[in-house]
Chains A and B, each alone.
Chain A
Amino acid sequence: MQTWDDRQPIYQQLASILAAQLLDGEPVEGSAMPSVRALASRYLLNPLTVNRALQTLGDDGLLENRRGMGLYVTAGARERLRVAERNRFLQTEWPRLRERLRRLGISAQQLNWEEH
């Protein structure tokens, strides 16, 4: 079963999971989100919790409500998420990573930028 940590409310954790999936193009922009009940049953969550998570994604401009048809992924949702993720990496992850590279004495030239 999906496990939820105790650092954040569950609806925020679900919102992060769904945002990560949107970033991977799932579902793709312009298509419908799964229904509240489908998500509730997939993640074994109370439907109210799912609603709050979807509300959060809606507030972030990633989902839009099409009257009578449910929630759809907005055009530009992936780019919006990518920008937010990039900012988060540069502001919080990169300083920590840089610090670790310095401590280990690894320079930019020593890093293999190609795969393999």
Chain B
Amino acid sequence: MNAAEPNVLVRASHLSVRYGAKAAVDDVSFTIPKGRVVGLLGHNGAGKTTLMKAMVGLTQGEGELSVLGFQPRPQRAQLLEQACYIPDVAILPRWARVEDLILLMSGIHPRFSAERARSLLRRTSVGLRDKVKTLSKGMVVQAHLALVAAIDAKLMILDEPTLGLDVLSRKAFYELLIDEWCDGERSVLISTHQVEEIESLLSDVLMLNEGKLVLSISLEDMERRFVGVSHDAAVAEQIAAAHPLLRYRTGTGPSGNAAIFDGAPPEHVQALGQRMRPSLVDLFVALTRKPELDRTHF
């Protein structure tokens, strides 16, 4: 870890990753301190997977990138001893039994604890004698998390871990993650489209749009900076005149319409409706929508 900044696990500064002429990750700068749960949000093709790959040295970037004090590309082997990574295409060998995988991990990973893996697996419905091919998709992902969380590491990187899982499996996955990984010291970076259900888990959010980082903020600061106002249709024009980031219909609220402002709008505008907590998903829509879409369509 960086001696000057013991609390910073990841630091990216003007990081870009290019595939030919196209910048998949375009000049992004951010830090991930310890003890955080960071959501990496973005539409398909926004650069989430590329950024994560760069962080574990699977792809070469330009600019500066330091992960746990290592340069991911040249120091990949050392880095992976101290960071856990589940890629979006992760698979466990279908023919293997879970106990074989524990044996395998014990052999290849110096910081892996077989004892801890077994104790994590006891929290799931996965048995040690089960073969991977007999497990449901949700159980495979839980087994994978248990194996990876048994590594004594400071940082976990999860690329779309709950994609394709039903709601109960997703809940079980997040419970295991919070209860067994998040101890105030270790951090996790987790990418997903399921913004609604992950919001309450996060301490910070990184939002990518077409390779660019459009938001990097803690949830606490987000609630302070962005102001939501729910209002009646009758005052829609006055609200629009105050240049909100986004206007949309809520369907659920008492007044049916809402707007999000970056920074508190003037008093007379706030007085037109009721202040509300801007949800992450609304902000996501506001900051990543395609320019050709009309803002009132949402």
The residues of A with any CB-CB pair to B shorter than 8 Å are 1-2, 4, 6-10, 37-38, 40-49
A8 & B179 in contact (Cβ 8 Å cutoff):
no
Ranked 9 nearest A-B pairs via Cβ? A41-B179, A6-B277, A41-B178, A41-B175, A6-B276, A40-B178, A46-B203, A45-B200, A6-B279
B223 & A9 in contact (Cβ 8 Å cutoff):
yes
A37 & B178 in contact (Cβ 8 Å cutoff):
yes
A4 partner, pick from B174, B179, B182, B200, beta carbons under 8 A: B200
Interface size on B, residues (CB 8 A): 26
**Number of CB contacts from chain A to chain B under 8 A:** 58
Contact of B214 with A by CB under 8 A:
no
Interface hub of B171, B179, B277, B279 (most chain A Cβ within 10 A)? B277
List chain A residues, Cβ under 8 A from B200.
2, 4, 10, 43-46, 49
A44 & B174 in contact (Cβ 8 Å cutoff):
yes
In angstroms, Cα B196 to Cα A4, docked, is 10
List chain A residues, Cβ under 8 A from B128.
none
User: What is the distance, in angstroms, from B40's C-beta to the closest C-beta of chain A?
Assistant: 15
A47 & B223 in contact (Cβ 8 Å cutoff):
no
A48 & B203 in contact (Cβ 8 Å cutoff):
yes
User: What is the distance, in angstroms, from B222's C-beta to the closest C-beta of chain A?
Assistant: 11
List chain A residues, Cβ under 8 A from B183.
37
List chain A residues, Cβ under 8 A from B277.
6-10
List chain A residues, Cβ under 8 A from B276.
6-7
List chain B residues, Cβ under 8 A from A9.
223, 277
In angstroms, Cα B129 to Cα A38, docked, is 29
In angstroms, Cα B197 to Cα A2, docked, is 9
A6 & B182 in contact (Cβ 8 Å cutoff):
no
In angstroms, Cα B180 to Cα A38, docked, is 10
A37 & B182 in contact (Cβ 8 Å cutoff):
yes
In angstroms, Cα B69 to Cα A71, docked, is 36
List chain A residues, Cβ under 8 A from B203.
46, 48
In angstroms, Cα B179 to Cα A75, docked, is 29
User: What is the distance, in angstroms, from B78's C-beta to the closest C-beta of chain A?
Assistant: 29
Contact of B228 with A by CB under 8 A:
yes
In angstroms, Cα B106 to Cα A24, docked, is 48
A6 & B278 in contact (Cβ 8 Å cutoff):
yes
Q: A1-B197, A9-B277 are in contact. Are A47 and B178 (CB under 8 A)?
A: yes
User: What is the distance, in angstroms, from B7's C-beta to the closest C-beta of chain A?
Assistant: 15
Q: Return the CB mask of B162-182 against A: 1 if under 8 Å, else 0.
A: 000001000100110011001
List chain A residues, Cβ under 8 A from B278.
6
User: What is the distance, in angstroms, from B274's C-beta to the closest C-beta of chain A?
Assistant: 8
Q: What are some 15 contacts across the A-B interface (CB < 8 A)?
A: A6-B228, A6-B276, A6-B278, A7-B276, A8-B277, A9-B223, A44-B174, A44-B200, A45-B178, A46-B178, A46-B201, A47-B182, A48-B203, A48-B220, A49-B200
In angstroms, Cα B183 to Cα A45, docked, is 13
In the complex, residue of chain A having the shortest beta-carbon distance to the beta carbon of B277: A6
Contact of B245 with A by CB under 8 A:
no
User: What is the distance, in angstroms, from A46's C-beta to the closest C-beta of chain B?
Assistant: 5
